Amino acid sequence: MKKLNFLVLFVLTLSLVTFSSCSTSDDGGDGGNAPSGLLVANVSGKSFKSFEQSSTATVSTAGGSKTLIIIATNSDGNAFSMTVFGYEGAGKTYDFTGATLGITNVASYSETKVNLSNPQASTTQLWQAPFDNTKVGSIAISEETDSKVVGTFSFKGKNVGGDGSIKDIEGSFNLKKQTY
């Protein structure tokens, strides 16, 4: 199961890193209510709480500009991935929108159903944002230190490869920070 979760996270991260970014506001929000080391969310009425060991905020300076990558998973096989390109730090809000050509911050939520009797028959559903050229949410960074990144997010994610369903998602994070 660890290998399956790692594979799902790797594929999500790799696919998200192929996009670009846009910041829209100088308001980093209130920081939310996530406990230290965790991402918490409401996913269409269901609670999500990440595992501290598998939740991080990574700030990368590869390619000359900063990118923020948030990965958070839980023991149920569910995961969040958010990428902000052109990341400028705390005090900013970044939109999830497909309206700007070549500049797209992305977010996704996935649910993996593990079939214990036949692990190869396990399935993963993915809800992603943006899914068209409209604004479907945002991520606000309220605090960044040498050791953590704190903020809030909300987005509508669409299951574009599955049944087309929409999930309304909102949450907050207080994650350990890595820098590369």
Residue 28: the pLDDT is 63
* Residue-wise pLDDT tens digits, 33-50: 999 999 999 999 999 999
Mean pLDDT of all residues in 88-92: 96
Note the pTM of the prediction, 2 decimals.
0.82
* Residue-wise pLDDT tens digits, 102-158: 668 999 999 999 899 999 999 999 999 999 999 999 999 999 999 999 999 999 999
Task: Give the residue, 47 or 12, on which the prediction is more confident.
Answer: 47
Provide the sign of the torsion angle of the four alpha carbons 114, 120, 123, 124, taken in this order.
Answer: positive
Question: Do residues 39 and 53 make contact, with C-beta atoms less than 8 angstroms apart?
Answer: no
Beta-bridge partner residues of 38? 174
Does 7 have pLDDT greater than 60?
no
Of the pLDDT bands very low, low, confident and very high (cuts 50, 70, 90), residue 12 is very low
Residue 22: the pLDDT is 40
Residue 103: the pLDDT is 67
Coarse DSSP helix, strand, coil percentages of the chain, rounded to the nearest 5 percent: 15, 50, 35
Does 66 have pLDDT greater than 90?
yes
**The domain containing residue 50 runs over which residues?**
2-179
Mean pLDDT of all residues in 3-29: 41
Quick count: other Cβ atoms within 10 Å of Cβ 180?
Answer: 9
Q: What is the torsion angle, in degrees rounded to the nearest 10, for the CA atoms of residue 29, residue 32, residue 34 and residue 39?
A: -50
Strands 166-179 and 55-60: parallel
Number of domains in the chain: 1
